[in-house]
Structure 1
Amino acid sequence: MVEMGKGAVVEAPIDQLLVEKLADPQTIEKLVRLLDKLEHVTFLLDMLENFLRRGPEIADSINDLVVTLRESLSKPEYVSRFELAFTAVRRMQEFLDSPQVQELFKSDVLDVRSVQMLGKVSRSMIQASTETAQTGIKRVGLLGLMRTLGDPEVQPALNFVLNFARHISKELADA
């Protein structure tokens, strides 16, 4: 800052300028924010210093990688592997772009709820298959079937099957 004296211009001492700048509320706010983040700044500077210190080592590693790639590309077996990999990627892209796969993506088959339901059905089938293999096939008569229909464990599945039958009928009628 410049002070006006008796006809002469005198510069304020640097200490006074520093005190005035430090007393500024915006400067105080910025210093507090900097102090709050000082640990992060220190960590970042340490990482940068370590990175710069390892610069020659990193450059040597990159150079070795380039040399290795050049040597590998000159070998016929690596060239054929790259060609096979490229062909495989191209075929996968053709498969994904096919109308059938695009239609599959548009359908509800890949919906999370559908996949979860298929998981439940699969687990139930495996458990039923295991139980049947362990206990053997038992003859179930009409009365046994009627008793089973009243079983509280069977009721949710029975409701599911009936609702499924109703909805699949609607879907098939629309088809």
Structure 2
Amino acid sequence: MFAATAVCVFALISHCEAIIGGREAVAHSRPYMASIQHFVEQQKTHECGGFLVAEQWVMTAVHCFPQGTDNRKVVLGVHSLTQSQDTQQVFEILELHKNPNYSAENFDNDIALIKLDRPANITSAVQIVPFLRSGGTNPSTDEQADTAGWGASDNLAPDRTN
């Protein structure tokens, strides 16, 4: 649903707001989630989230790439960022398209598209995010919406599940 997508985009790019009362999602219940990771030798570090919008495209935030795409890969099909999973698919970044109107001062237009080096293998753990279709409705003011991402369940230690 587009509303969920819009909320995901906002959650990816918001620097001044926090998600309060978050909880671990059921494993692979958000199969569209992508982890943008920095790979150095045998170590990998989650840097940003994103979501699969087409078989070969991930939407994320421009601010995730302050020095470009060097040593960064996109990982799909994961729930935990610390445990190995056979559902995991790892992709090189073929292209990065940054919104030309992005402002680093206030994070306006903080949206980027990543073209993966090959199409994702669509499985139960890797899916394209569903968008609002013609005739659908946007959420009303004060309507509750879900968001997803890897973050912290408290302000002391990062959580490594979505």
Q: Under TM normalisation by the shorter chain, which class is it?
A: under 0.3
More helix by share: 1
TM-score for the superposition, normalised by structure 1: 0.14
More strand by share: 2
Higher relative contact order (CA 8 A, sep 6+): 2
